[in-house]
Amino acid sequence: MGICLSHSGSRSATVNSVVNHGQPSTTSSQWSSVATTSMSTSSKSANVSGNSSLFSGSDIDISSPAPAAGQMLPRPNLRVFSFSELKTATRNFRSDTLLGEGGFGKVYKGWLLGPSGERTIVAVKKLNSESTQGYQEWQSEINFLGRLSHPNLVRLLGYCWEDVELLLVYEFMQKGSLENHLFGRGSAVQPLPWDLRLKILIGAARGLAFLHASDRKVIYRDFKASNILLDGSYHAKLSDFGLAKLGPTASKSHVTTQVMGTNGYAAPEYVATGHLYVKSDVYGFGVVLVEMLTGLRTLDSNRPNGQEKLVEWIKPHLSDRRKLKNVMDSRLEGKYPSRSALEIAQLSLDCLENEPKNRPSMREIVETLQRIDGAPETLPRDQLTVKSSHQPTNRRGGRQQPLQHRSPLHPRQDSNQAYPLPQRRLLPSGK
């Protein structure tokens, strides 16, 4: 998880400790102490229903867009909702407002009234009281997504904490998840054309590059198709920051942490050692590139023997144009530029390199995708502030390693949740 907490009892800490209210502006070097706040757990029924004074929530315009350049705030800028307000917004959490369900709990569609009487559609996550991971993810979402603002990150609008009720309120993403568009079937799911696939990849890459751009980098740790959500214009945004973690200090190359994530997307060095690098996220991005090319899930036990693990099976096809053609998503019906597809396949191989240092940075990935798409080759500095340390090079190799699951904001049940992996000594040989 993004936060390590005691489980000796339950939650009695004030929300002030979660959101750092009233503290001086938090520098990036202070994030660690904020994001790993240890909370007392002596009383499960802590009543903080009067906590709406923590923020001037009524003054926050929940319909305003994120700043174009993105920013990290010194503390969360969130609206505090009452439980009764969210009950009303979701029609008492009625079943026909249910969007999805995962490790955190259930996600509902809600309608909030603005100051002028206008209605804003939102997504409301409600903690499952039996969840062992929900409280930690709730806290991590506030600590990270509550401070991060960027056009390619889903906007966290506010939260609710009353008695045992924990909820989070997000902007609503009309088109759901990339996972549903890539792997969903039926007349209601339209296949994504090539130009939209590139647009989504560029947006998701920008969001991830923004996280990696600060002095104290944020490692997303759970990059996957189900966590890429799409608005009405197929504008991609990253969601679900329950596993996010601060990156290493300048003097270190990695942080060491419990291995968490999703099977099929986690980097091999992280699975094998617990060492988490900024470029561990890049490996996950490479897996999504392969899924986008093929229209196939990273893991599928229903595929023929030897093809269950997508990356291991597909890698030999990614560097050859003719072999690549045979594994491209059939729902594209051949309507894609073969040269661009090959370039993306080669980029995926770079991302899937075994050694983190050999993988490209997310800034380099954004620039490569923009070039392939015909967009300006250099990313504008007002869009993303990142320093590139080296030029992209073609790389090969790397073995895909698994992990596991969690809860999204999109209208389907998540079958791809993130949980702790088995102890590393128990991993099968060769993994």
Give the model's pLDDT for residue 418.
53
How far is residue 359 CA from its own chain's centroid?
20
Residues tagged active-site: 222
The fold of 176-426 is: Transferase(Phosphotransferase); domain 1 (1.10.510)
Q: What is the pLDDT of residue 69?
A: 61
Alpha helices in 90-159 (DSSP H): 134-144
What pLDDT score does 75 carry?
79
**pLDDT in single tens digits along all 431 residues of the chain:** 333 323 333 443 333 333 333 333 333 333 333 333 333 333 333 333 333 333 334 445 555 566 556 777 777 889 999 999 999 999 999 999 999 887 678 999 999 988 788 899 999 999 887 766 677 888 888 988 898 889 999 999 999 999 889 999 999 999 999 999 999 877 678 899 999 999 999 999 999 999 999 767 899 999 999 999 999 999 999 998 888 998 887 768 888 888 888 989 999 999 999 999 999 999 999 999 999 999 999 999 999 999 999 999 999 999 999 999 999 999 999 999 999 999 999 999 999 999 999 999 999 999 999 999 984 444 444 444 433 334 444 444 444 333 433 434 544 444 455 544 433 333 333 33
Q: Full-prediction pTM beyond 0.85?
A: no
Q: Where are the domains of the chain?
A: 15-171, 176-426
Query: What local confidence, expressed as pLDDT, does residue 278 receive?
Result: 94
Is 269:278 a contact under the CB 8 Å cutoff? no
Spatial separation of the C-alpha atoms in residues 414 and 284, rounded to whole Å? 18
Residue ranges of the binding site for ATP: 126
What does the block give as tokens for 371? Answer: 């070039």
Strand partners, 244: none
For 171, the enclosing helix (H) or strand (E) is strand 165-171
* CA separation for the pair 276, 256 (Å, rounded): 6
Q: Are strands 176-177 and 79-80 parallel, antiparallel or unpaired?
A: unpaired
Q: Decide if 295 contacts 253 (C-beta within 8 A).
A: no
Residue 24: what pLDDT? 31
Is 338 within 8 Å of 328 (Cβ atoms)? no
* CATH number 3.30.1130.10 given to 15-171: no
Strands 218-219 and 236-238: unpaired
Q: Quickly count: other Cβ atoms within 10 Å of residue 307's Cβ.
A: 14
pLDDT at 416: 55
Where do the H-state alpha helices sit in 242-327? 268-273, 280-294, 310-314, 321-327
Q: Could you tell me how many helices (H) and strands (E) the chain has, helices first?
A: 12, 17
